[in-house]
Amino acid sequence: MATLVDAWRTLYTITLPNLAKLKSSAQTHWPVQADHCFARIILDSVIGRGEEYTETSSSVTSTENRIATPWTERLKSPAIKNMTEAELSRCVTLGEAIAGGKANLVELDERSLAARGKAFKTSKGHGKRKGDAKIDDTAALSQPSSSEPKPKLRRRDQPDIRAAFGAPPKPSASSVPSASIDSDLRDLIETSEITAFRKRVLLALCQVPKGQVSTYLALSEYLNSAPRAVGNALRNNPFAPRVPCHRIVAANKTIGGFNGSWGVKGEYFNNKVTLLKEEGVRVNEKDGRIGNTVWTGFE
């Protein structure tokens, strides 16, 4: 099972996104590039069709081969923790078929979108779907609206931000139990006017214990989402510091972002360092390196 889990994660987070960026000849067109979109397409194709799925039917075009429902209506999120070994094996098989050109990604994407009631918009035959980068289809939840403030980040001031969001997670401090959330804080979050996705992110964030740090990647894997979607959700935290967004750092164990700024050159770097050190987290004030083990004990 562990081997299948590793194979699945590698396929949708590394192999397929890289093939898409390189415009591999395995597919005549790559309609998506983001890892969560590949996961959405494959999970919908396998889980969304239930017992009707076969390894060969994924490449056949017919009305009978449509996806009946999004995978989230058949399986509790996160999928990687709730799939059976057989379902996980089918996901790996389909991912490998896409990578090898044996399954048509465009057709699979169209079926996935149709199951979610979304139109597939193209230009000149095979264009990129409008707004695709803004949709976290894997989580199947709302994302922050375009009217929300944009991050005050400059690319030249954050050369490691991509690696920091997607670097491999460090071992978990699994012996430390998750923190409990006060009922009044839970009610405050759940009844607020923020999006459903941000509510899930903030509620999950409350599990990170005082004196521990987790990462955008670890939190996104728990929510079956994407690190950048989690980063966007945390950028405007109306309940800080009770909802401790300062306990989320970059996957490469640097300070990460805080209040819309990033890294040691960020405007609020010292604020985040102070909050973490007051809770007993080891932080190098010069380079923002975190000395603690990454906590990933989300439940």
What count of other Cβ atoms lies within 10 Å of the Cβ of residue 278?
12
Q: What is the pLDDT of residue 275?
A: 93
Question: Structure tokens of 127?
Answer: 């264009």
Share of the chain above pLDDT 70, in %: 75
| Ranges of H-type helices in 47-119 | 79-82, 85-99, 105-115
Residue 182's pLDDT band (cuts 50, 70, 90): confident
Q: Could you give the C-alpha distances from 270 to 23, 56, 122, 173, 186, in angstroms and in order?
A: 42, 55, 46, 25, 28
User: Which phi and psi (to 5°) does residue 86 adopt?
Assistant: -65, -40
Average pLDDT over residues 27-36: 90
Radius of gyration of the chain (CA): 20
Q: Annotated catalytic residue: which of 37, 91, 206, 245? A: 245
pLDDT tens, residue by residue, 63-113: 446 777 888 888 887 888 888 989 889 999 999 999 999 999 999 988 888
**What CATH class does 155-278 carry?**
mainly alpha
Q: What is the pLDDT of residue 272?
A: 92
Q: Which residue has the tokens 């931000």?
A: 161
Q: What is the pLDDT of residue 262?
A: 85
pLDDT tens, residue by residue, 120-159: 544 444 444 443 433 333 333 333 444 445 454 444 444 4
Asked if 37 is an active-site residue, the reply is no
pTM of the model: 0.47
Residues 111 and 34 sit within 8 Å (Cβ to Cβ): no
Domain ranges of the chain: 2-134, 155-278
Instruction: For the chain, give the mean pLDDT.
Output: 78
Please tell me which residue, 190 or 170, carries the higher pLDDT value. 190
- DSSP bridge partners of 258: 261
Q: What is the pLDDT of residue 117?
A: 79
